Amino acid sequence: MTTVLTGRELRKSFGRTQALRGANVSVSGGEILAVMGPSGSGKSTLLHCLGGVLRPDSGEVAFGEVRLDRLADRERSRLRRTSFGFVFQFGQLVPELPVLENIALPLLLEGRARRAALAEAAEWAARLGLDGLWDRLPAELSGGQVQLAAIARALVARPRVVFADEPTGALDSVAADEVMELLVDTVRDHDAAMIIVTHEPRVAAFADRTLIVRDGLDVQPVGAR
Ligand code: ADP
Ligand code: MG
């Protein structure tokens, strides 16, 4: 397996709060890494630094040959759009846009022709069981359906790395398992890597490996299988 993304000695403070104090992490193509740890331990900050949403105060983030921590904001956002996919706890779809357009958004932002983008979005919607819901607004969907649409949107541009922050946090356990199965299968099918932050052991059980974060530091990976 080839390493796709590596974070080395990552540090990040917010005022006097040291959210990351030298965390190390790497993920390979086709690998699903769970990140666990107590609330406030720096999981989201770690994910945001790795995903190029936040710039670490020090340390390196390497995406292949590209040093993410050194990229200018503009290039970093571009790389995020083309190579990364994000899924958050509450889906965060655009409330004014119907499901299909929400899913197509990353392609539309990349300048893909509208018709082609919507056709591709429709394929992802079908794959994730959202047929017949294209025209609905996010407010007209169940929590599980919102998460499925958010996953479709995260995957539509065929990212190399998917970042998921408590993606099932708002779901009951049946919906959570369904969402996880789809997410994991699709990520593996595309040989992408995924880093998934969760405090739920049943979610972490879907991963190949679990990294525990405590007080902004990674501690020994557990649960390799
Ligand atoms: P987790 O995701 O593990 O719950 P976070 O990474 O969100 O933890 O937060 C780690 C620490 O950094 C916490 O003490 C949190 O309050 C603080 N923190 C995170 N983001 C910010 C921010 N934007 N401004 C100030 N403090 C923050
Ligand atoms: Mg968090």
CATH code assigned at 221: 3.40.50.300
Contacting residues for 123 by C-beta, under 8 A, at least 6 apart:
none
Residue 63 is assigned to a structural domain of this protein: yes
What's the full length of the chain, in residues? 225
* pLDDT of 223 above 80: no
Q: Which of 11, 12, 17, 198 to mutate to test the pocket of ligand 1 (most atoms within 8 A of CB)?
A: 17
Contacting residues for 107 by C-beta, under 8 A, at least 6 apart:
116, 117, 120, 121, 156, 157
Q: Are strands 17-28 and 161-165 parallel, antiparallel or unpaired?
A: unpaired
- Candidates 171, 181, 166, 182; CA nearest to 130 is 182
Domain count, the chain: 1
pLDDT value of position 224: 43
pLDDT value of position 222: 53
Calculate how far, in angstroms, residue 163's C-alpha sits from the geometric centre of ligand 2: 12
To the nearest whole number, what is the mean pLDDT of the chain? Answer: 92
Rounded (10°) CA dihedral 84, 208, 38, 69 = -30
Instruction: Give yes or no for residue 19 CB within 6 A of ligand 1.
Output: yes
The pLDDT confidence band at residue 117, using thresholds 50, 70 and 90, is very high
pLDDT in tens, 136-191: 999 999 988 998 999 999 999 999 999 999 998 888 888 889 889 988 998 998 88
Residue 30 is assigned to a structural domain of this protein: yes
Instruction: Give yes or no for residue 54 CB within 6 A of ligand 1.
Output: no
Instruction: Give yes or no for residue 214 CB within 6 A of ligand 1.
Output: no
What are the beta bridge partners of residue 19? none
Supply the residue whose CA is at minimum distance from atom 22 of ligand 1: 14
* pLDDT of 225 above 70: no
Q: What's the predicted TM-score (pTM) here?
A: 0.92
* pLDDT of 220 above 80: no
Residue 112 is assigned to a structural domain of this protein: no
DSSP secondary structure string for all residues of the chain: --EEEEEEEEEEEETTEEEEEEEEEEEETT-EEEEE--TTSSHHHHHHHHTTSS--SEEEEEETTEEGGGS-HHHHHHHHHHHEEEE-TT----TTS-HHHHHHHHHHHTT--HHHHHHHHHHHHHHTT-TT-TT--GGGS-HHHHHHHHHHHHHTT--SEEEEESTTTTS-HHHHHHHHHHHHHHHHHTT-EEEEE-S-HHHHTTSSEEEEEETTEEEEEE---
Of residues 128 and 164, the one with the higher pLDDT is 164
pLDDT in tens, 61-76: 999 999 999 999 999 9
Across 84-111, average pLDDT: 92
Please tell me the number of the ligand nearest to residue 212's CA: 1
pLDDT value of position 182: 86
pLDDT value of position 89: 82
What are the beta bridge partners of residue 20? 12
Across 208-223, average pLDDT: 80
* pLDDT of 221 above 70: no
Across 100-113, average pLDDT: 95
What is the percentage of the chain residues whose pLDDT exceeds 70? 97
- The atom number, within ligand 1, closest to the CA of 15 reads 25
Calculate how far, in angstroms, residue 44's C-alpha sits from the geometric centre of ligand 2: 4
Please tell me the number of the ligand nearest to residue 166's CA: 2
Residue 52: domain span: 1-83+199-225
Residue 3 is assigned to a structural domain of this protein: yes
